[in-house]
Amino acid sequence: DTAVSQTPKYLVTQMGNDKSIKCEQNLGHDTMYWYKQDSKKFLKIMFSYNNKELIINETVPNRFSPKSPDKAHLNLHINSLELGDSAVYFCASSPGAGQPQHFGDGTRLSIL
Amino acid sequence: GQQLNQSPQSMFIQEGEDVSMNCTSSSIFNTWLWYKQDPGEGPVLLIALYKAGELTSNGRLTAQFGITRKDSFLNISASIPSDVGIYFCAGYNSGGSNYKLTFGKGTLLTVNP
């Protein structure tokens, strides 16, 4: 039983395209997150949502638009993809604020 | 923003050896977490620490929340080949948001059989 699941696992696309990544958690958690991991493996928070409400937007370009239809889902839509967007994107969830986060297996985005 | 200084950056050890890595910060943290990431997967939580001075074990892993609340260490005893991976410290800064987890840059562990 996958706790935090992301789709797709791999995404290869051309510069300028628009793409979406989906995330679902079956842990009953209230809080969900998106992270970007760069080529040096550094993990940086992008967005935090609590009960479908945006709590943190860590100065992410507005080409990135998260959407939370319910507290079990947090999807990430990216417009006008750029070369610098190539990275691994991780979704995570936690029971609430200040709690340990549980991560999905990542979506590897490659921009050609 | 707040940063976590994690060291060492990488370690190359022989199977059976003990390993120690640590994280320090100039800020006070409320919670310290240790994660392990295997290739192609997401970080997996190993140990969570909530109180200054707390010492917690998970099998061969032991982690401590520093008394000053500005540091934490992780020890792995009697390493085995499957311990290979990247270990991350992470924490919630007491002066920041509890919705923002700050990560160290990771320690890459290689175990020689």
Note the pLDDT of residue B73: 98
Chain B closest-CA separation from residue A106 CA (Å): 6
Q: Which two structure tokens, joined as six digits, stand for B32?
A: 């310290």
**Amino acid B1: pLDDT:** 52
Which residues are CB-neighbours of B51 under 8 A, at least 6 positions away? B65
Could you identify the residue written with the tokens 């604020």?
A97
Contact B97 A43 (CB under 8 A): no
Non-local CB neighbours of B80 within 8 Å, separated by 6+ positions: B15, B111
pLDDT tens for residues A32-88?
999 999 999 999 999 999 999 999 999 889 999 999 999 999 999 999 999 999 999
Upper half-sphere CA count for residue A110 (Cβ side, 13 Å):
6
Tokens of A11: 């995404």
Q: What is the pLDDT of residue B3?
A: 77
* Cβ contact B45–A100 (<8 Å): yes
CA distance A87 to B113: 32
pLDDT digits (tens, 9 = 90+) for B75-92: 999 999 999 999 999 999
DSSP state of A53: E
- Considering CB atoms only, which of B33, B41, B99 is closest to A97? B99
Please compute Rg for chain B using Cα positions. 13
List b or e across B45-84, with b for residues whose CB sees 16 or more CB atoms inside 10 angstroms: ebbbbeebebebeeeebbbbbbeebbbbbbebeebeeebe
Kindly determine whether residue A40 and residue B105, on different chains, have CB atoms separated by under 8 Å.
yes
Q: What's the pLDDT at A1?
A: 65
Residue B2: per-residue pLDDT: 60
